[in-house]
């Protein structure tokens, strides 16, 4: 039995990413005199023909190197980086230094992942174990002309094997260290002369890689995954084909562990007051010691169906790809990352996604050349429901009082005097908290276990695009390509927030906004309404003189608080400046007033007041429009222009220009910034503008006896990159100015003799902020690890942003190298193939403007395997990954509410094992 499909190979654009031709694409295919086939432009071409920057990893490499998922794939593609953070679903795919999409379901990825032509809208939906892979293509640079959504910096295309009209089956078992047990199996064959099937399944189990010193368990970062997949291929005629796929996968793991990199004074203080053994005995990342009072469960469940139809109409091939997918992720995170019971964050997110793509592809000849054209449209509908809470633990009150009375508030400007003033008298300073003589945070029944913030968010996303692209073969050697797409994206969101912790609801930015405050400051504070602070201190309400009078101390507030020039020279200097002529400016912009914002207490208000949305559109007194209507509409036109020329039969060059686009995002989470100094209380940051990317690229591809050499030089600019930066108590959601990255990439394969295959991949990146004039000043948690000059600049009263133009974005490796060597020994009909692979990533700062204490990342990792294959289909593969046990950091972050401490995530340690496979 055999396939009867006879769609013209030149029209296989209709097959798109699914690549209906079952062509092997092993990395060493070229060395075996077979061209590597790709569908990067939604047309079937060889790797050397396609005039774009694309890396290909084939089935043989994936099997031999034990590349289990996309996270493992980065070792073979130097331009690709994958980072997994506090739980399994918070994974970023990064190409050429840029990528996002984690830690907020309102942010979509900048790198699109497509499996058999179906767009996976979130990284969690692409974490499944790689099934029956034929090849993986990594497309570098913006791909928005031909791909429907969110490919502003690149795309990952995964093509799996088709059902076969000949009976075949495979079974594979893997055993390794750390309790690794993996099983895979597949069965494929004919149901009739026109209908074939393929079913497969896999399980993946492994012990954890971290030890939790709180309970001695070793299950953090374990693997517990399984997946099933079924396909039907129906070819009723020679010109019509249908492929149906259904899949289900589940992850149920304890993840993710963090190491303590720096043990700062606050963390040490927690131990000192007996809140528990909250830190590991070592800060060496290689020890992989975590301290969590909660084993963080991660449950990810995904399912979906898709149907692809290809119909050869004679003049063109019509392709339709329809998919429906559901993804549910649930996790509980010990967000303080200590063994003390301080806080927990349970959250659950559900995605329901529908996509429809239609394409028509064909070619025609005219008097001026041959035109290969492609036209189509893409429809995307998604509904997101996100539930998130941040709740106090049983030791939160004690932790808060430690910060206020010890290492925290007393160190801020005037903090010790304010602490003394607010705790010395019997008067109830905060009557709404119901306490007569409180400590600052342990007020009345505040900060009881289980209290805190809860948010429920719903997002509807409707997007559509139309695209057209044509390759004009002007001569046998010259091809001009032009493409254009139009994208329209609409998002509507609703957020309902509940905060049953009184201190979090207190509007501390209005602390001095008592009656008689100047216009523009507001009088709605629940804490100080009608001058309650003055009453508490035995003073009369503030007169109409307002902020200026406060600084001049005409009302006696400062004296009552114990803040005198003699004991606080810094404040005296600030007051003198105000009195000398800046009173009007402070009145107009209260953010210039360090006491009006009462910065000391807002630093311990870990979740500032949040508002539900939509809210009526309002204009702040400073002229900024607050648009919390929960609705955003945007559209964009993207283009591709390319010239490709064959200098010889084995050497071609190309020049291209392309643009990319990622739609605006809506913040579906709490924002870590204090609210604006306005009774409305809303922070500016619910929305992030669209990302827009443009790239100029010059490349060359050369074939020679036994191999190839591909080189690409590029100049890529990203405007309004959607950033979600962690501050130590939460994330700040904003656009990050204008960034560029210039560099070059090299991909090479050489077989000096038939049994040997050598590969080499190099990426060089030179990133830069071309314009970032209003970058946020470093948060308190990051400041101890920041250049002192930057910290000093941000310490000036009224300064909340800095100009980072001309500096380098953090976390981008200048040099990344992936190289491998293999040699095939032949023994009759059997083969023995040893292979070694090396990954190197040069050192890079993980924090912007870091000082000598700031963490860095550098990777030097060796992978290897020895595969023995017999003629009867039986094979044994001895393999090892990270054999040199490189303990590189994935990323680092300021410890939650513990200024001066750092946590980080570490790469997977050395793993090794044996895989036994039988092909039937």
Question: What is the per-residue pLDDT for 787?
Answer: 84
Q: Please say if the pLDDT value at position 203 is more than 70.
A: yes
CA distance 242 to 254: 40
Single out the residue of 36, 12, 215 nearest to residue 117, CA to CA: 12
Domain presence at residue 53: no
Claim to verify: residue 828 and residue 875 sit in the same structural domain: yes
In a domain, 159, yes or no: no
**Which pLDDT score, from 0 to 100, does residue 798 have?**
62
Q: What is the pLDDT of residue 435?
A: 34
Q: How would residue 849 be classed by pLDDT, with cut points 50, 70 and 90? A: confident
Determine the pLDDT at residue 670. Answer: 72
Please check whether residues 591 and 666 belong to one and the same domain. Answer: no
Residues 638 and 546 occupy one common structural domain = no
CB-based contacts of 769: which residues, under 8 Å, 6+ apart? 736, 737, 738, 739, 775, 804, 805, 806, 807, 808, 809
Distance CA 600, CA 588 (A): 22
Q: Indicate whether 436 pLDDT > 60.
A: no
pLDDT surpasses 70 at 808: yes
Q: Are residues 803 and 833 in the same domain?
A: yes
Report the alpha-carbon distance of residue 40 to residue 136 in Å, rounded.
Answer: 10
Q: Given this model, what pLDDT does residue 880 score? A: 95
Element (H, E) at 719: strand 707-719
The predicted pLDDT at position 797 comes to: 64
Co-location of 403 and 543 in the same domain: yes
Distance of CA 463 to the CA centre of its chain: 21
Instruction: Give the residue ranges of DSSP H helices in 253-328.
Output: 265-272
Do both 591 and 489 map to the same domain?
A: no
Q: Which pLDDT value is given to residue 276?
A: 56
Instruction: Indicate whether 820 and 866 sit together in one domain.
Output: yes
Distance CA 59, CA 364 (A): 34
Is the model's pLDDT at 679 over the cut of 50? Answer: no
Which residue, of 575, 602, 629, is where some domain finishes?
602
Q: Is the pLDDT of residue 406 over 60?
A: no
pLDDT at 425 over 70: no
Asked if residue 20 belongs to a domain, the reply is no
pLDDT value of position 480: 96
Q: pLDDT digits over 113-138, tens only?
A: 999 999 988 876 666 666 688 888 99
| pLDDT score of 444 | 46
Q: CA 356 → CA 149, 234, 546, 664, 736, distances in Å?
A: 12, 20, 60, 21, 32
879 vs 72, higher pLDDT: 879
Q: What distance in Å separates the CA atoms of residue 761 and residue 79, rounded to the nearest whole number? A: 9
Task: Return the top range by mean pLDDT from 20-29, 442-451, 692-701.
Answer: 692-701
Q: Is residue 881 part of a domain?
A: yes
Show the beta-strand stretches assigned E in 777-901.
801-802, 815-823, 825-827, 830-845, 856-869, 874-881, 889-894
Tell how strand 111-115 and strand 154-160 pair up.
parallel
Which of 552, 578, 602 represents a domain boundary (last residue)?
602
Which residues sit opposite 310 in a β-bridge?
241, 319
**Which CATH number does the domain housing residue 250 bear?**
2.40.170.20
Please tell me the total count of domains within the chain: 2
702, 653: one domain = yes
The answer to whether residue 385 is domain-embedded is: yes
| Residue with more model confidence, 774 or 330 | 330
Q: Are residues 359 and 421 in the same domain?
A: no
Confidence band, pLDDT 50/70/90 cuts, at residue 822: very high
Domain annotation covers residue 86: no
DSSP string across 747-761 = EEEE-SSTTEEEEEE
For CA atoms 567, 571, 574, 575, the dihedral sign is negative
What pLDDT score does 605 carry? 65
| pLDDT confidence bin for 208, thresholds 50/70/90 | very high
Q: With respect to residue 901, please indicate whether it lies within any of the assigned structural domains.
A: yes
Give the burial string for 103-119 (b: 16+ CB within 10 Å, else e).
Answer: bbbbbbbbbbbbbbbbb
Where would I find the beta strands (DSSP E) of 549-650?
618-619, 625-626, 631-646
- Are 901 and 781 part of one and the same domain? yes
Q: How far is CA 910 from CA 286, 289, 546, 847, 915, in A?
A: 11, 16, 64, 27, 16
At residue 600, φ and ψ (nearest 5 deg) are -55, -45
What kind and span of H or E run contains 399? helix 396-402
Asked whether 473 and 369 are in contact (CB, 8 A), the reply is yes
pLDDT at residue 402, as a whole number: 59
Show which of 571, 602, 633 is a domain's final residue. 602
Residues 632 and 533 placed together within one structural domain of the fold? no
Sheet hosting strand 111-115, strand order edge to edge = 54-58, 133-140, 154-160, 111-115, 118-120
- CA dist 260 and 279 (Å) reads 7
Tens of pLDDT, residues 482-541:
999 999 999 999 988 888 876 676 555 544 333 333 333 333 232 333 233 333 333 333
Contact assessment for residue 469 and residue 488, using Cβ atoms and an 8 Å cutoff: no
Question: Rounded CA gap, 117 and 657, in Å?
Answer: 24
41, 432, 838 from 595: Cα distances, Å: 59, 22, 56
Query: Which residues make Cβ contacts (< 8 Å) with residue 289, sequence separation at least 6?
Result: 210, 211, 213, 259, 260, 280, 281, 282
pLDDT tens-digit map of 266-306: 666 556 555 655 566 677 888 898 888 888 889 999 999 99
Asked whether the predicted pLDDT for residue 419 surpasses 50, the reply is no
3-state secondary structure of 600: helix
Between residues 83 and 161, the one the model is more confident about? 161
Read off the pLDDT band of 375 (50, 70, 90).
very high
pLDDT of residue 428: 31
In whole angstroms, what is the distance from residue 532 CA to residue 241 CA?
A: 76
Position 680 in a domain: yes
Q: Which are the contacts of 130, defined by CB distance < 8 A and separation ≥ 6?
A: 62, 67, 68, 69, 70, 73, 136, 158
**SS3 state of residue 390:** strand
Residues 228 and 258 in one domain: yes
Average pLDDT over all residues of the chain = 77
Question: Are the C-beta atoms of 672 and 731 separated by less than 8 Å?
Answer: yes
Tell me the pLDDT tens digit for each residue of 532-576.
333 333 333 333 233 333 333 333 434 433 344 444 444 444 444
pLDDT tens digits, 586-608: 444 444 443 433 444 555 566 76
Compute the average pLDDT of residues 22-41: 52
DSSP letter for 98, please: B
**Alpha carbons 10 and 45: distance in angstroms, whole number:** 9
pLDDT score recorded for residue 294: 85
How far is Cα 293 from Cα 333, in angstroms, rounded to an integer?
A: 10
Average pLDDT of 615-619?
A: 64
Domain range for residue 828?
Answer: 168-392+454-499+615-919
pLDDT value, residue 533: 33
The residue that leads in pLDDT, 652 or 424, is 652
Q: How confident is the model at residue 81 (pLDDT cuts 50, 70, 90)?
A: confident
Q: Of how many residues is the chain composed?
A: 920
Report the chain's terminal Cα–Cα distance, integer Å. Answer: 17
């Amino acid at each position: 039995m055999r396939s009867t499909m006879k769609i013209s190979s030149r029209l296989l654009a209709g097959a798109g990413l699914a690549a209906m031709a079952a062509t092997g694409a092993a990395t060493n295919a070229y060395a075996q005199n077979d061209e590597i086939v790709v569908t990067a432009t939604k047309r079937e071409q060889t790797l050397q023909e396609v005039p774009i920057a694309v890396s290909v990893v084939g089935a043989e490499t994936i099997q031999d190197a034990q590349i289990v998922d996309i996270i493992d794939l980065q070792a073979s593609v130097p331009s690709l980086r994958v980072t997994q953070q506090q739980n399994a679903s918070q994974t970023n795919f990064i190409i050429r230094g840029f990528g996002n999409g984690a830690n907020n379901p309102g942010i979509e990825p900048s790198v699109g992942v497509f499996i058999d032509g179906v767009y996976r809208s979130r990284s969690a939906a692409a974490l499944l174990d790689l099934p029956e892979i034929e090849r993986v293509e990594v497309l570098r640079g913006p791909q928005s002309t031909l791909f429907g959504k969110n490919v502003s910096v690149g795309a990952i295309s995964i093509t799996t094997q088709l059902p076969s009209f000949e009976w075949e089956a495979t079974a594979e078992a893997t055993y390794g260290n750390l309790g690794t047990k993996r099983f895979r199996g597949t069965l494929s064959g004919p149901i009739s002369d026109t209908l074939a099937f393929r079913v497969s399944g896999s399980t993946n189990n492994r012990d954890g890689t971290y030890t939790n010193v709180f309970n001695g368990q070793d299950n953090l970062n374990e693997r517990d995954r399984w997946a099933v997949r079924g396909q039907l291929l129906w070819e009723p005629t020679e010109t019509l084909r249908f492929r149906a796929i259904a899949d289900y996968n589940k992850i149920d793991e304890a993840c993710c562990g963090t190491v303590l990199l720096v043990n700062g004074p606050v963390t040490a203080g927690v131990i000192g007051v007996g809140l528990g053994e909250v830190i590991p005995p070592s800060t060496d990342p290689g020890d992989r010691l975590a301290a969590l009072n909660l084993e963080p469960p991660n449950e990810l469940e995904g399912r979906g169906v898709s149907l692809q139809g290809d119909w050869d109409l004679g003049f063109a091939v019509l392709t339709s790809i329809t998919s429906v997918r559901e993804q549910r992720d649930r996790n509980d995170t010990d967000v303080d990352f200590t063994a003390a019971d301080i806080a927990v964050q349970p959250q659950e997110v559900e995605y329901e996604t529908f996509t429809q793509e239609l394409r028509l592809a064909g070619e025609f000849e005219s008097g001026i050349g041959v035109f290969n054209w492609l036209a189509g449209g893409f429809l995307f509908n998604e509904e997101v429901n996100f539930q998130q809470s941040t709740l106090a633990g049983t030791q939160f009150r004690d932790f808060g009082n430690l910060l206020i009375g010890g290492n925290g508030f007393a160190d801020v400007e005037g903090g010790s005097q304010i602490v003394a003033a607010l705790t010395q008298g019997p008067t109830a300073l905060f009557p709404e908290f119901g306490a007569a003589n409180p400590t600052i945070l342990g007020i009345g029944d505040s900060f009881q276990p289980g209290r805190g913030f809860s948010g429920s968010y719903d997002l509807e996303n409707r997007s559509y695009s139309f695209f057209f692209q044509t390759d004009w073969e002007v001569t046998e050697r010259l091809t001009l390509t032009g493409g254009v797409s139009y994208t329209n994206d609409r998002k509507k969101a609703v957020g309902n927030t509940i905060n049953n912790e009184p201190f979090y609801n207190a509007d501390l930015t209005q602390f001095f906004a008592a009656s008689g405050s100047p216009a523009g400051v507001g009088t709605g504070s629940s804490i100080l309404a009608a001058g309650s602070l003055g009453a508490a201190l035995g003073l009369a309400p503030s007169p109409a003189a307002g902020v200026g009078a406060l600084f001049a101390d005409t009302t006696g507030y400062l004296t009552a608080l114990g803040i005198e020039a003699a004991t606080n020279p810094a404040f005296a200097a600030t007051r003198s400046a105000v009195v000398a002529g800046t009173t009007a400016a402070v009145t107009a912009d209260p953010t210039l007033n360090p006491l009006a914002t009462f910065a000391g207490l807002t630093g311990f208000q870990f979740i500032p007041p949040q508002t539900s949305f939509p809210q009526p559109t309002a204009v702040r007194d400073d002229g900024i429009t607050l648009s919390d209507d929960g609705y955003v509409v945007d559209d964009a036109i993207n283009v591709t222009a390319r010239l490709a020329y064959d200098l010889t039969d084995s050497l071609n060059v190309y020049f291209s220009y392309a643009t990319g686009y990622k739609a605006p995002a809506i913040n579906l989470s709490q924002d870590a910034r204090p609210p604006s100094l306005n009774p409305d209380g809303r922070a500016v940051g619910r929305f992030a503008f669209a990302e827009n990317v443009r790239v100029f690229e010059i490349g060359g591809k050369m074939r020679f006896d036994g191999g190839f050499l591909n080189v690409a030089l590029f100049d890529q600019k990203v405007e309004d990159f959607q950033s979600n930066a962690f501050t130590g108590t939460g994330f700040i959601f904003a656009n990050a100015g204008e960034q560029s990255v210039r560099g070059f990439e090299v991909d090479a394969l050489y077989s000096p003799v038939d049994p040997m295959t050598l590969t080499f991949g190099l990426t060089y990146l030179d990133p830069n902020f071309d314009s970032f004039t209003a970058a946020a000043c470093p948060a308190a948690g990051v400041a101890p690890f920041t250049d002192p000059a930057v910290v000093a600049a941000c310490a000036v009263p009224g300064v909340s942003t800095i100009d980072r133009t001309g500096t380098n974005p953090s976390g981008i490796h200048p040099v990344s190298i992936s190289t491998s060597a293999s040699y095939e020994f032949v023994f009759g009909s059997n083969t023995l193939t040893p292979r070694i692979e090396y990954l190197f990533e040069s050192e890079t700062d993980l924090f912007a403007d870091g000082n000598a204490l700031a963490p860095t990342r550098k990777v030097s990792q060796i992978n290897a395997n020895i595969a023995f294959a017999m003629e009867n289909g039986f094979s044994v593969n001895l393999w090892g990954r990270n054999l040199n046990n490189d303990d590189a950091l994935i990323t680092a972050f300021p410890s939650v509410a513990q200024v001066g401490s750092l946590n980080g995530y570490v790469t997977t340690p050395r793993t090794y094992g044996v895989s036994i496979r039988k092909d039937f």
